[in-house]
Amino acid sequence: MIDMARTTGTKAGAAAAKTVAAEEAAPATPAALLAAEGAPIDSGKVASIKAALEAGTYKIDAQAIADRMISLDLPEASK
């Protein structure tokens, strides 16, 4: 860990160092753990989409995308 008080030569630096140390010691929330791990990536699906794009055969269903976006935004509208 960087010694902020020594690096900046200020009391504010020491306070920042204490804050950083407290954050490092705090237990991680599930959201923080997911963010640290990164999004899960389905390499097989990425490869198949990439191949379809390169071949010019990838079809986009704009209506399905719009319907899904609306259902995520307005759950009561999809009932």
Question: What pLDDT digit, counting tens, does each position of 12-35 carry?
Answer: 655 555 655 555 666 688 888 888
Mean pLDDT of the chain: 78
Where are the chain's structural domains?
1-40, 41-79
In terms of Cβ atoms closer than 10 Å to its own Cβ (0-12, 13-18, 19+), residue 8 is: middle
Inter-residue contact 46 to 54 (CB < 8 Å): no
Q: Residue 77 pLDDT > 70, yes or no?
A: no
pTM recorded for the entire structure: 0.40
